[in-house]
Amino acid sequence: MTMSLFNEFSDLTALGQALRAGTISARELAQDALHRVAQSDINAFTHVDADLTLAQADAADTLLASGQATALTGIPIAHKDVFVTKGWRTTAGSKMLENYVSPFDATVVEQLLAAGAVSLGKLNCDEFAMGSDSTTSYFGAIKNPWDHSRTPGGSSGGSAAAVAAGLVMAATASDTGGSIRQPAAHCGLTGLKPTYGTISRFGVIAYASSLDQAGPIARSARDVLAMLQHMVGFDANDPTSLALCGDQKNDGARITEQFNQHSTQFDANAAQPLKGLRIGLPKEFFAGNIDTDSAAAIEQAIQLYESLGATRVDISLPLTQQAVPTYYVITPAEASSNLSRFDGVRFGHRAAEYTDLESMISNSRAEGFGVEVVRRILTGTYVLSEGYYDAYYLQAQRVRRLIANDFRTALEQCDVILGPVAPRTAQRLDHQNDDPTADWRNDVYTLGVNLAGLPAMSTPCGFSSQNMPIGLQLIGNYFNEGQLLAIADRFQQHSDWHQRIAGTK
């Protein structure tokens, strides 16, 4: 059977209904998806194994036949290559882990498998999730399905590119400083970074442990919700995991209930569904760094929200610019510590030539890590060194607290904060910067959210004059993922940006 996921079935809900009705089987769907992955030229995948995928599809068909299926049963997804997986290689986009196969699944992988989702394999990403354009992977750069000469954003570029190209319905991703929201924006998708601690990090290869957060990328807010409700939940294996409702099932129900409560209230307001909703617009987000096309698209989105009853509230996040140096002190410091385990002794790349233990470790790390990873390890080691710890790392942690306080103050004045995801659309793959930190400054709108641990999402809101997607960022208060998704869903009910398919206008 030949079928395109985005042909007859344009969203996860419709496809799930067809699977449960028996219109199509999970195996047929998986075979079609595998064929399209094989034909794809965007370099979104690092490892595909048809036998593993079809085994999961057959198990999904059994679950469908039993009448115990979930909304995800039989749905083709894939995992960013920082989530460890049994069977599929887990490389983190690095030569250091080129042939590593984990003996266990990450908690998120287990949860989605239990829900019946069918994995097509592992998705390419910036090496160890360090990057914002998906060009630092050892396995090569990823191409944006909207324009193959441009990046899909990063570090979760493979996740966004695979969904935008119609290879999977949804994908897992991780966000340390915008790595879900920015690629979702650059590929015309919806992506959510939940509140820190609501999704287990167990089995997710760490970059910066106090900021890393897993989340989903899909086409619409409702598809993101379908993924999210099976990803959240307390995990005793993760010391940073939060026990909000006691277990994964109840936490998923909490978010869904929150979404439904807000949607019901919106319905009750009839022609002005968002009446009473206060949208905060930080003056620092609109202070001149954003390009003309992005500014125009976001302004039109704000006007649409106003037509639905929302009101603008001018707010300030005065430490917005300080988020960049704060982030790029804290994350390299944590990366320096986290990546010290990759030494060629127990697993990972080991140099072929060395004379003693010290040279083996040194040579293995020099060969195994790419330029961007080395740059951040060296930066992190420097800021943690004696004589510099107090001046840099400790000071950055103090500013981090002040940034969180700024968000807390702002969210007392509004219900949700709105702004750009990135100052411009996706860059060209061959872009060059004399300053290697220039790309770091492009993350100015997303970094503060991770430093504060807040939930935030990106949703499509328009296109540039070059037909490249533009994303809108919504930032909510802690544990208000359901509210964010409901607000985004109402916007998507009155716009069609999220329905546009790569290569079309």
| Nearest Cα to Cα of residue 89 among 76, 74, 99 | 99
Residue 366: inside a domain, yes or no? Answer: no
Those residues whose C-beta lies under 8 Å from the C-beta of residue 411, and which sit 6 or more positions away, are 280, 417, 476, 477
**Has 80 been annotated as catalytic?**
yes
Residue 452: inside a domain, yes or no? Answer: no
447 and 327 Cβ atoms separated by less than 8 Å: yes
pLDDT digits (tens, 9 = 90+) for 191-250: 999 999 999 999 999 999 999 999 999 999 999 999 999 999 999 999 999 987 766 668
Question: Beta strands 45-47 and 190-193: pairing type?
Answer: unpaired
Residue 209: inside a domain, yes or no? Answer: yes
> Which pLDDT does position 503 carry in this prediction?
66
Catalytic annotation, pick one of 102, 132, 155, 263: 155
Question: Which residue segment(s) compose the domain that 34 sits in?
Answer: 12-266
Which pLDDT band, with edges at 50, 70 and 90, does 347 fall under?
confident
Catalytic annotation, pick one of 134, 174, 179, 200: 179
More confident residue, 420 or 3: 420
Helix 395-410 to helix 323-338 angle, to the nearest 10 degrees? 130
| Nearest Cα to Cα of residue 277 among 418, 385, 438 | 418
Instruction: Write the CATH number for 97.
Output: 3.90.1300.10
In this prediction, residues 28-54 reach a mean pLDDT of: 97
Which amino acid, one-letter code, is at 231?
M
Residue 257: inside a domain, yes or no? Answer: yes
> Which pLDDT does position 262 carry in this prediction?
97
> Which pLDDT does position 136 carry in this prediction?
96
Structure tokens at 87: 């069977």
Residue 48: inside a domain, yes or no? Answer: yes
The model scores a pTM over 0.75: yes
Catalytic annotation, pick one of 25, 80, 263, 294: 80
| Nearest Cα to Cα of residue 482 among 301, 285, 171, 245 | 245
Residue 373: inside a domain, yes or no? Answer: no
Predicted confidence (pLDDT) at residue 88 exceeds the cutoff of 50 = yes
pLDDT digits (tens, 9 = 90+) for 461-473: 999 999 999 999 9
> Which pLDDT does position 246 carry in this prediction?
61
Which pLDDT band, with edges at 50, 70 and 90, does 298 fall under?
very high
> Which pLDDT does position 249 carry in this prediction?
63
Count of structural domains within the chain = 1
In this prediction, residues 393-411 reach a mean pLDDT of: 98
Q: How many angstroms separate the CA atoms of 482 and 78, rounded?
A: 23
45 and 91 Cβ atoms separated by less than 8 Å: no
Q: How many angstroms separate the CA atoms of 125 and 79, rounded?
A: 10
> Which pLDDT does position 243 carry in this prediction?
81
pLDDT digits (tens, 9 = 90+) for 148-172: 999 999 999 999 999 999 999 999 9
Residue 408: which H helix or E strand, with range? helix 395-410
**Has 179 been annotated as catalytic?**
yes
Residue 76: inside a domain, yes or no? Answer: yes
Q: How many angstroms separate the CA atoms of 197 and 277, rounded?
A: 27
Residue 252: which H helix or E strand, with range? helix 248-268
For residues 163, 165, 167 and 172, what is the CA-based torsion angle, rounded to 10 degrees?
Answer: -20
191 and 153 Cβ atoms separated by less than 8 Å: no
Residue 301: inside a domain, yes or no? Answer: no
DSSP label of 147? B
In this prediction, residues 246-272 reach a mean pLDDT of: 89
> Which pLDDT does position 382 carry in this prediction?
97
**Has 10 been annotated as catalytic?**
no
Which pLDDT band, with edges at 50, 70 and 90, does 389 fall under?
very high
Those residues whose C-beta lies under 8 Å from the C-beta of residue 306, and which sit 6 or more positions away, are 312
Average pLDDT, the chain: 95
Structure tokens at 358: 């010290």
Predicted confidence (pLDDT) at residue 60 exceeds the cutoff of 70 = yes
In this prediction, residues 268-296 reach a mean pLDDT of: 95
Which pLDDT band, with edges at 50, 70 and 90, does 440 fall under?
confident
> Which pLDDT does position 496 carry in this prediction?
95
